[in-house]
């Protein structure tokens, strides 16, 4: 358990020490929130969709968590190149436990990032439907963070090129984000797009956040929770296996 705590704490400290990373990681969510929220707000209202900020903000919160969580995997490549990973793996501790510590640390950082974006959303006009459901929203944020931190670590476990990692991540992240319903409603989609969004785990995270913060669900609360829990469990198991196969 000590190693679990150490790995978790190390991820937190690395985030807090990088002020540029903290500020820079807010740039894209703020751009999407302001540009799309106010740029397409009038069009959304004319289509009788209501306040677009209310619809958009949960998706942007999920986006900030997604990007932060996935890119924690690059730290694994960094640790491998500079020898810290070797020192960790030779310790008499199971590798799945090390993987769990890294995942929890990355997920904690990602949730914090999501909370910051939520606070900014409140400043630009977003309103929480039922404040009593904030713990449920935090649960969805944590599940999204766990899922994609484990996913990013699993991919990083099979890579050793730090420069290639961001390119691969963008190739994976952008379709996950754009086909999650973060920017558009999931009702009335064409066949192929509907199939893609239904198989996208982030769709259920966005829907759960939107329901917890605004009271409107597409898939339903239990479906959202079930898909996120099952997918997170699978990806953590896969990530632990790939992490255990790292050669030092």
Given a cut of 70, is residue 31 above it in pLDDT? Answer: yes
Rounded to the nearest 5°, which phi and psi values hold at 119? -65, -40
C-beta separation of 56 from 98 below 8 A: no
* pLDDT of amino acid 222: 94
The full set of domain ranges for the chain reads 2-244
User: What pLDDT does 37 receive?
Assistant: 73
C-alpha distances in angstroms, 165 versus 170, 176, 237? 9, 17, 21
243 pLDDT band, cuts 50/70/90, is: confident
Q: What is the pLDDT of residue 44?
A: 67
Task: Check residues 114 and 28 and name the one with the higher pLDDT.
Answer: 114
Among 57, 69, 237, CA closest to 146 = 69
Q: Please indicate whether residue 50 or residue 142 has the higher confidence score (pLDDT).
A: 142
Q: Are 53 and 30 in contact (CB under 8 A)?
A: no
Q: What is the pLDDT of residue 89?
A: 64
Tokens of 11: 């991820």
Answering whether pTM is above 0.85, one says yes
Q: What is the pLDDT of residues 187-227, one digit of tens each?
A: 877 788 889 999 999 999 999 999 999 888 989 999 999 99
Tell me how far apart the alpha carbons of residues 107 and 112 are, in angstroms, rounded to a whole number: 9
Q: What is the mean pLDDT of the chain?
A: 81
Distance, in Å, from the CA atom of 100 to the CA atom of 86, rounded to the nearest integer, reads 17
Task: Calculate what percentage of the chain has a pLDDT beyond 70.
Answer: 77
76-89: pLDDT as tens digits: 777 676 666 666 66
Residue 4 confidence (pLDDT) above 60? no
How many C-beta atoms lie closer than 10 Å to residue 20's C-beta? 7
Is the confidence at residue 138, as pLDDT, over 90?
yes
Q: How would residue 10 be classed by pLDDT, with cut points 50, 70 and 90?
A: low
- Give residue 154's pLDDT: 85
- Is 69:144 a contact under the CB 8 Å cutoff? yes
């Amino acid at each position: 358990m000590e190693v679990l705590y150490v790995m978790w704490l190390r991820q937190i400290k690395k985030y807090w020490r990088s002020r540029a990373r903290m500020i820079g990681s807010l740039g894209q969510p703020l751009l999407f929130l302001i540009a799309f929220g106010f740029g397409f707000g009038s069009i959304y209202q004319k289509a009788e969709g209501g306040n677009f900020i209310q619809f958009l903000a949960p998706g942007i919160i999920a986006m900030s968590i997604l990007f932060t969580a996935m890119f924690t995997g690059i730290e694994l490549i960094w640790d491998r190149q500079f020898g810290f990973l070797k020192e960790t793996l030779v310790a008499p501790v199971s590798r799945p436990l090390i993987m769990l510590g890294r995942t929890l640390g990355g997920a904690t950082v990602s949730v914090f990032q999501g909370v910051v974006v939520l606070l900014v959303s409140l400043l630009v006009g977003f309103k929480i439907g039922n404040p009593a459901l904030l713990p449920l929203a935090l649960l969805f944020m944590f599940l999204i963070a766990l899922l994609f931190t484990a996913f990013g670590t699993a991919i990083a476990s099979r890579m050793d090129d730090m420069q290639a990692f961001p390119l691969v991540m963008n190739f994976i992240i952008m379709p996950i984000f754009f086909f999650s319903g973060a920017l558009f409603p999931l009702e009335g989609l064409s066949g192929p797009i509907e199939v893609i969004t239904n198989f996208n785990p982030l769709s259920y995270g966005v829907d759960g956040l939107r329901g917890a913060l605004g009271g409107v669900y597409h898939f339903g609360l239990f479906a959202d929770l079930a898909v996120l829990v099952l997918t997170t469990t699978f990806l953590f198991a896969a990530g632990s296996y790939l992490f255990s196969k790292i050669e030092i």
